[in-house]
Amino acid sequence: MNPKSLCFTILIAILAIFISRFIIDPSPHFHKIIIDSSLTLSSSSCIIMKFIPFDFSDFCRHRKHPDKGKPVSVCDDFPPNIPPPETNTTLTLCVDQNGCCNFTTVQAAVDAVPNLNMKRSVIWINTGIYYEKVIIPKTKPNITFQGQGYTSTAIAWNDTANSANGTFYSGSVQVFSTNFIAKNMSFMNVAPLPRPGDVGAQAVAIRIAGDQAAFWGCGFYGAQDTLHDDRGRHYFKDCYIQGSIDFIFGNGKSLYEDCQLISMANQVAPGSKSINGAVTAHGRASADEDSGFAFVNCSIGGTGRIWLGRAWRPYSRVVFALTSMTDIIAPEGWNDFNDPSRDQTIFYGEYNCTGAGANMSGRAPYVQKLNDTQASLFLTASFIDADQWLQSYNS
């Protein structure tokens, strides 16, 4: 056994032990034991990190190293005044994986939110990677997930289309309720990278299937189709999104502002014309559907040779505006899913984009260079009728 595989085996063993003990005895007491035996939160997060098939090293960078000399209680650093007192319009639930407050898993906190509650329920989630699958049912509207930074708080799971009975159910987090908000945290799918020829390896980080969801300062980590922007109106601001094939897909009506879109597709040989990814696969199926993805002031980078979008369904609608693109974007820019009949019905627009990938001279004929009037529909939050709902979220 070479040192590398030995190290890997040991890590698997530690992870297995960690998970099995966690499942057998998830009590706060158990977490204190773990800490006392110096397997700290920071090292457990970093161990799990080793299994993540992409770079997530930021996660360990800001960790404090425990002072070996004096005994520390894991809850000493716990911020005072958390959770804040409840009001007649908000309910606060607190999650800490070391048992320093009411819940040790995010799902347990979601389960504790009353059905059909009209108050906003803020689920405050302390630093750590929460290795669990989280489902927010339709009956629980108005939930906020508040993390401590997108490189500090994350929910991760590793289902694939194969293990979850379909791509749509592979999401580590699945949101079916309305009015969901997430702030300063990450959503990850840590399934192993698919090998060439693997079937059913799609692995979604989050599925957003409720109307009026908003994300501020969030990270979305996956290896291929990461963000299932399924249906409803959604807002993303200052988010980091990585993936490779169709990494933002679905039939949502969404505005992405000031987001970083990073392709994880394999490097391609210089001069090769092969394509190995796409930023979007928007799924608008008919002219009656009011859906579309708008990207404003975003940046696209990373590796591979990719399209901005491909026409998952015939009326696919996507606009990139004021966005910088590196040369990973193929000159034709977009793809009609090899179905020329879709060229008449898809709406793919670009407006004032910059960078080597934004050169429109080689674009497919159906791609539109939008003028100011056309673009104006996609540039502001009114695209998602945000005057009706988004403002109240930011308070």
Instruction: Pick the closer one to ligand NAG by CB: 66 or 331.
Output: 331
89 or 115: CB nearest ligand NAG: 89
Cα–Cα distance measured from residue 325 to residue 282, given in angstroms and rounded to the nearest whole number: 19
325 within 8 A of 351, measured Cβ to Cβ: no
Nearest distance from residue 335's CB to ligand NAG, in Å? 18
Distance, CA of 17 to CA of 14 (rounded, Å) = 5
Smallest separation, CB 266 to ligand NAG (Å):
20
Which residue, 163 or 382, has its beta carbon nearer to ligand NAG?
Answer: 163
Number of residues that make up the chain: 395
Burial of 109 (0-12, 13-18, 19+ CB in 10 A): buried
Smallest separation, CB 110 to ligand NAG (Å): 12
Nearest residue (CB) to ligand NAG, 51 versus 66: 51
Going by C-alpha positions, the residue among 107, 169, 101 that lies closest to residue 140 is: 107
Closest to ligand NAG by CB, 6 vs 166, is 166
The answer to whether 257 touches 216, Cβ cutoff 8 Å, is no
The minimum distance between CB 51 and ligand NAG, in angstroms, equals 7
244 burial (CB, 10 Å; 0-12 / 13-18 / 19+) is buried
Query: What Å distances lie between residue 114 and 24, 31, 85, 107, 123, CA to CA?
Result: 27, 27, 17, 13, 13
Residues 6+ apart with CB under 8 A from 228: 167, 168, 171, 204, 206, 207, 208, 209, 249, 250
Contact call for residues 11 and 49 (beta carbons, < 8 A): no
Q: Which is nearer to ligand NAG, 212 or 291 (CB)?
A: 212
- The two structure tokens encoding residue 156: 């991760």
Q: Name the catalytic one among 25, 246, 288, 385.
A: 246
Closest CB 247 distance from ligand NAG, rounded Å: 19
Q: How far is the CB of 30 from ligand NAG (least distance, A)?
A: 18
- Angle subtended at Cα 75 by Cα 103 and Cα 174, rounded to the nearest 5 degrees: 30
Contacts of 132 (CB under 8 A, 6+ apart): 105, 106, 107, 155, 157
Containing 168, the helix (H) or strand (E) segment is none
Give me the phi and psi of 381, to 5 degrees please: -65, -10
Dist. CA 28–CA 26, nearest whole Å: 7
The question of whether 339 is a catalytic residue gets the answer no
Binding site for ligand NAG (CB under 6 A): 88-89, 93, 102, 112, 118-120, 141-142, 149, 158-160, 163, 165, 178-179, 183-184, 191, 217, 258, 297, 352, 359, 361-362, 371-374
Answer yes or no: are the C-beta atoms of 97 and 108 closer than 8 Å. Answer: no
**Residue whose CB is less far from ligand NAG, 198 or 339:** 198
Q: At its nearest, how many Å lie between ligand NAG and the CB of residue 159?
A: 6
Backbone region of residue 226 per phi and psi (left: phi > 0; alpha: psi in -120 to 50; beta: other values): alpha
Active site residues: 246
